[in-house]
């Protein structure tokens, strides 16, 4: 790191659990953020300002006026623009040291496998069950840590699935692929704007810790009721009969 970078990241470097070595690990790491909306916006922002070396942002959507209540990567002037283009421009303004790549597509399983294989940590910031399961399958196949978040109305959840440890559960251990799940969209159900910021920032925190080697949420699911600000933690165990990671 040069002098400017040492100064930029000095508040991280002062932390004994990060230091110069941890910051260097971040600079060498590649984060894959799938979804540039309510969760992906704060997640990508905090990864970028924290000094992740490379970030790939994936989304096939364009910015809509209704997004601006919570999707803080985008502004009024970005309405109608591709979310990945708007997001990349915002991230470049925040930290030009970070290499930002974009994929404007609803990625296929083949493309998803390629993207996951190239990343050090994956953040699922999507809003539908089928995509979440596809991301999980790719992360299990390539043994990449996955940070999953969700938020709707006043309710949210976050968990990390670190299959670099053979005893760790995967997303499908918690939500089996065979389950019939009805996707609910904030366009019909609503979402409390700061809730996506809370969860997205936590996803970034988990991803940074996984890269540095600090303890993570792997093996736990956190649930938040934002109306009461009540947190609940649930212990997760690997399902030996899991269709994705089971033996």
Predicted local distance difference test score (pLDDT) of residue 1:
87
Find out whether 71 and 151 touch, Cβ atoms under 8 Å: no
User: Tens place of pLDDT for every residue, the chain, 247 residues?
Assistant: 899 999 999 999 999 999 999 999 999 999 999 999 999 999 999 999 999 999 999 999 999 999 999 999 999 999 999 999 999 999 999 999 999 999 999 999 999 999 999 999 999 999 999 999 999 999 999 999 999 999 999 999 999 999 999 899 999 999 999 876 666 666 678 999 999 999 999 999 999 999 999 999 999 999 999 999 999 999 999 999 999 998 6
What would the 3-class secondary structure string for 70-127 be?
A: CCCCCCHHHCCCEHHHHHHHHHHHHCCCCEEEEECCCCCHHHHHHHHHHCCEEEECCC
Q: Which of 125, 139, 186, 242 is catalytic?
A: 186
Predicted local distance difference test score (pLDDT) of residue 184:
62
> Catalytic annotation on 186?
yes
Angle between helices 193-212 and 40-49 (to 10 degrees): 40
CA-CA-CA-CA dihedral for 114, 116, 119, 122, to nearest 10: 160
Give the closest residue to 168 by CA, choosing from 91, 242, 107, 83.
242
Cα distance between the two ends of the chain: 43
Predicted local distance difference test score (pLDDT) of residue 178:
81
pTM of the model: 0.95
Find out whether 107 and 84 touch, Cβ atoms under 8 Å: no
Strands 121-124 and 99-103: unpaired
Cα separation, 12 vs 25, whole angstroms: 12
Q: How far is CA 205 from the centre of its chain?
A: 9
CA-CA-CA-CA dihedral for 93, 95, 97, 101, to nearest 10: -70
Domains of the chain are: 3-235 (3.40.50.720)
């Amino acid at each position: 790191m040069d002098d400017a970078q040492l100064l930029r990241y000095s508040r991280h470097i002062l932390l004994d659990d990060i230091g110069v070595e941890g910051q260097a690990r971040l600079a060498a790491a590649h984060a894959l953020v799938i979804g540039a909306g309510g969760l992906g916006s704060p997640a990508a922002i905090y990864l970028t300002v924290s000094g992740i070396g490379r970030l790939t942002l994936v989304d096939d959507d364009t910015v809509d006026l209704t997004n601006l209540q919570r999707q803080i990567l985008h502004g009024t002037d970005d309405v109608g623009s591709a979310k990945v283009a708007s997001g990349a421009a915002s991230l470049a303004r925040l930290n030009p040291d970070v290499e930002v790549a974009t994929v404007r597509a609803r990625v296929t399983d083949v493309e998803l496998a390629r993207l996951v294989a190239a990343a050090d940590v994956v953040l699922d910031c999507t809003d539908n069950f089928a995509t979440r399961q596809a991301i999980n399958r790719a992360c299990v196949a390539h043994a990449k840590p996955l940070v999953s978040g969700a938020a709707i109305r006043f309710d949210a959840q976050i968990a990390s699935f670190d299959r670099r440890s053979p005893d760790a559960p995967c997303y499908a251990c918690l939500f089996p692929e065979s389950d019939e799940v009805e996707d609910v969209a904030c366009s019909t159900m609503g979402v409390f704007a700061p809730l996506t910021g809370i969860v997205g920032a936590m996803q970034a925190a988990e991803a940074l810790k996984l890269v540095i080697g600090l303890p993570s949420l792997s093996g736990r699911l956190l649930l938040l009721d934002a109306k009461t600000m009540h947190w609940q933690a649930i212990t997760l165990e690997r399902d030996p009969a899991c269709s994705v990671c089971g033996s």
